[in-house]
Structure formats: structure tokens, C-alpha cells
Amino acid sequence: MFEACDAQDALTILEERQDIRIVMTDIEMSGDMDGLALASTIRERWPETVVLVNSGRVRPEPEALPDRAGFIAKPYRAAELLHQLDVLMEEHGVPILSDGDILEAWHAAELAHAQADALDKPVTLAHAIAAEQAAIQRFGVGSHAAAYDARYPDAPEPRR
């Protein structure tokens, strides 16, 4: 997962990394380019990349979104986000994450949160919670913890 401070930063990351398959952007961004312009640029330059636009203030008309880009209004629940991403990934032919990928992402987020300093705690906690929500979506409440424990038997309990 990468975070960009503005559209230009996002484009730089995309140019440097060939493994990015999903970009989520807010419509309102700092800099010279808003999220809709960023989404259009991504669709032109990286047509295989899934783009999901979000906003808590602006609700764009469907024709304002680039072709095959999605929109989700804030606030949204994790389940809504995961559903929207699943739909977009299927439309783009992007493979949906395997069970192992989901558990690995959750484990990595938990490790990062455990090692973060006080300033990074809110960010790493958000990543850990999002990763755990993906596991809940895939495995079901309760079963997600058993799947995690089975894959990482020596890992400490997640701490919040």
C-alpha cells in the first residue's frame, strides 16, 4: 500500500512501480490536479489499473468518471469498499486476492503497527484494521482469527 500526498506524487509512484493494480483517490486533492483528472490520467496511461474515486462532499455524475472507474461516497463501511473493489477488479480482469494474500497483508499490517512509533500509530492502526476487515469479509467473523492463527501460529495477538 502506498500513500501519495497529491496527484503528481501518485503518478510518480505509478511510474516507478509496475505492480500497482488498484488506485483509490479522493476527488478533492491538493495540487494542480484533482482526483477526477488523476483518475482520467491513470485510465489513459495504465488502462489495466483499477481506479476507485471517493468523496464525502462531491457526487460526480457518472459521465464525469473515466471509463470503467468506480465511485464510492464517504463515509463508507469496509464491506462496501471491499464489494466495490471486487466488482471493479472483476470488470478489469484483475485477480482477486487469495486467502494467503489477505492473511499476509493483515500480518504485515499488524507487524508494522507493533513496531510503529507514537506518531505512526494512527496510520498503522488504520492499515491493520482495514486488513483485518478484508479477512473478516473473506473468512467470516471469528473464522478470520482462526485462519490467521493457523497461518501465523507464533505471531503475537493483535494489539489495539
**What residue ranges do the domains of the chain occupy?**
7-81, 99-151
Pair 135, 151: CB distance under 8 Å: no
Q: Compute the average pLDDT of residues 3-32.
A: 92
Tens digits of per-residue pLDDT, 81-92? 888 888 888 887
Higher pLDDT, 24 or 2: 24
pLDDT of 105 higher than 90:
no
d(CA 8, CA 38): 8
Domain with residues 7-81, CATH architecture? 3-Layer(aba) Sandwich (3.40)
3-state secondary structure of 70: strand
d(CA 44, CA 59): 22
pLDDT band at residue 158, thresholds of 50, 70 and 90?
low
